[in-house]
Structure 1
């Protein structure tokens, strides 16, 4: 996201003039929180927190969802914006034109098209396990499309992302967001995992899961789930004309043009962890109804 430093964008820029709002962004960067939790963490009253959150929402930095809590409804706050670039010099006098088209797909984690994995491994819907744990054969079970969480010790899963471009469009950026962590119990600090992402056969880059999150229950994880893997971290992959990024940090020079996206071909997205990786901690993917983010794998293609 590019933000021109001008009076037209004061709502966005003013968000960073407050130590309280910056601290909120810092806290939400670790995990989603409700208004009460933010109030306690910041030691300020809930109405003040609500006013700050409203300002961050208007700027597109934070998004909120109202859900049922133990004592009525509660507002859960999420960090929506992962990165932004401020344009100081050479910024256009007029707002930049809106991209002609934006294609969005929400892909359930169980809708992989191919896989090659080794235990430990398993799948579960939001109500029950699918097959038996540590038996890769169940990844071929027809019920795998119902999975809301999947995990494996090494190998890969690959997704076929539908491509709705038309034949005269040129892709400008591709963004993929998901909640992910290692396969190992997330409370084990010394077991990180090198997770590698590939699109259309192009290696985008590696993200190393630190292995020091997940010691609290996932906000959306079902009550029946008793395994140590409770939630992961939200990761956003973005490929544009300049290169490939994970959470705004460039991880490779692979550009959107190198992906060879074509209107008549789907996009192949692979998530893997190699047995030969320095940190082979496996992969866990959380979908809607599990973890801390009530979403599946969200894909946005801009042309």
Structure 2
């Protein structure tokens, strides 16, 4: 998640101007808690906790759901983002155009995967577990969660260049993690990203997360992995960055982006990697972030 430092986002920054709200974030980092439990830990009233939760919820920091408890309905709260990046500089005014594209995780154009693997829509499993043939099923475009122990999936990003325009930067965000049988939160995986066949860098995901329910994962899903981590990748004129930290020296000019040709984006887990731990991807209605693969191209 990237937040522009601006008065327009003052409500977001105000969330961190309260010791009570900071303590709530610390508590929810340990486990989801309901209003009454938070009130008891903080030694304040449930009414005060409710007001703080509302502010955190409006900012997208905390997610809530209403559940049936022993004494009626209760509001369960959970922490949503794993990290945020503060953007201090405003976008370059010389970048004349921005194209924002949302690509569903199931709308890949090419794949090569090996078990454990599978696909799920927001309402059902697509095909059968551990059968790569179902990655070719026409319903794969409906997938909101896909996973594979090795191999890759590749997406085609529309290229709207005209005339003598050139791409100045590509920023992409997605939710993903490793892929272990069932789940294993200590299961590192070297996940490699590439554009147009050019590798831009490898990120080692620490695990496959299933001990806490995903904020948006459907209740019917009882098969291990629940959510991933939200990662932001930026390829710019000065290199490639992951969550604002330099990942490699690959620049946008080195990606071979040409007029009239789609941009190919690949996510891979190589068998010869130091940590060949697979990939799990999450789209809308799955995981902790209600989004698909979100892409911004600056021309």
- Interval of TM-score (by shorter of Structure 1 and Structure 2): 0.7 to 0.9
Work out the CA distance in 2 between the residues paired with 1:173 and 1:21: 39
What residue ranges of structure 2 are gaps of 5+ in the alignment?
A: 68-72
Work out the CA distance in 2 between the residues paired with 1:263 and 1:33: 48
1:257 to 229, 253, 257: 253
Q: Deviations over 1:199-250 (max 9, x none)?
A: 1111111111111643111111112211111111111111111110111111
Q: Does the 8 A contact of 2:53 with 2:62 survive in 1?
A: no
Structure 1 position 297 matched with structure 2 position 293 = yes
Work out the CA distance in 2 between the residues paired with 1:29 and 1:268: 38
Structure 1 position 195 matched with structure 2 position 191 = yes
1:286 to 270, 282, 292: 282
Structure 1 position 104 matched with structure 2 position 107 = no
Q: Does the 8 A contact of 2:240 with 2:251 survive in 1?
A: yes
Equivalence map 1:1-303=2 (5 Å): 11=10, 18=17, 20=19, 23=22, 36=35, 43=42, 45-46=48-49, 49=52, 53=56, 62-63=59-60, 69-70=66-67, 71=73, 78-79=80-81, 82-84=84-86, 86=88, 97=93, 99-185=95-181, 187-211=183-207, 213-303=209-299
Q: Does the 8 A contact of 2:15 with 2:55 survive in 1?
A: no
Work out the CA distance in 2 between the residues paired with 1:285 and 1:99: 31
The Cα shift of 1:102 comes to: 1.6
Work out the CA distance in 2 between the residues paired with 1:276 and 1:106: 31
When structure 1 is superposed on structure 2, of 7-16 and 169-178 the one drifting more is 7-16
Partner SS state of residue 84, structure 1 = strand
Equivalent pairs counted in the alignment come to 289
- Taking a change above 3 Å as real, the CA distance of residues 257 and 12 of structure 1, as seen in their structure-2 partners, is farther
Work out the CA distance in 1 between the residues paired with 2:242 and 2:200: 9
- Taking a change above 3 Å as real, the CA distance of residues 164 and 276 of structure 1, as seen in their structure-2 partners, is same
What residue ranges of structure 1 are gaps of 5+ in the alignment?
A: none
The Cα shift of 1:36 comes to: 4.8
RMSD, aligned α-carbons = 4.0
